[in-house]
């Protein structure tokens, strides 16, 4: 049975059902104290490149192209190790990807969850 992979905003209260909580943003979330984040890891190297993040600008109309470009980035040398580590964490059991992004369904966390579960969308 495949491990449960979820994603949510870091500002939402954590839950025992979260499993391991991994922050997948490149920068630390504004106003969030590290002790309040309840994270197991912060994998900043799995986050989209600064260039891709700036191009996307969280514009939903660009999401399909963002997804395509980001999935390509996950295969490059700068992301490969962190992406592999994230896969290992997912194989261990429940995993929740957390992000500061307001629209989590159009975020790198959503793309990563798809990628980890093998969804092609």
Question: What DSSP string describes 61-86?
Answer: GGHHHHHHHHHHHTTSHHHHHHHHHH
Task: Give me Rg for the CA atoms of the chain.
Answer: 13
CB 73 within 8 A of CB 55: no
pTM above 0.85, yes or no: yes
Query: Across the 121 residues of the chain, what is the mean pLDDT of every consecutive 10-residue run?
Result: 82 92 96 94 96 96 97 92 93 93 97 84 43
Whole-number pLDDT of residue 4: 87
Q: How many CB atoms lie within 10 A of CB 63?
A: 18
């Amino acid at each position: 049975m495949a491990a449960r992979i979820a994603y949510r905003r870091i500002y939402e209260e954590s839950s025992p059902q979260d499993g391991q909580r991994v922050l997948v943003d490149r920068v630390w979330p504004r106003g969030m104290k590290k002790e309040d984040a309840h994270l197991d890891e912060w994998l900043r190297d799995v986050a989209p490149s600064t260039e891709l993040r700036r191009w996307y600008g969280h514009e939903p109309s660009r999401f399909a192209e963002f997804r395509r470009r980001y999935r390509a980035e996950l295969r490059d040398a700068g992301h490969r190790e962190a992406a592999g580590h994230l896969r290992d964490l997912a194989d261990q059991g429940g995993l929740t990807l957390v992000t500061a992004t307001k629209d989590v369904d159009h975020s790198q966390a959503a793309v990563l969850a798809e990628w980890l579960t093998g969804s092609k969308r």
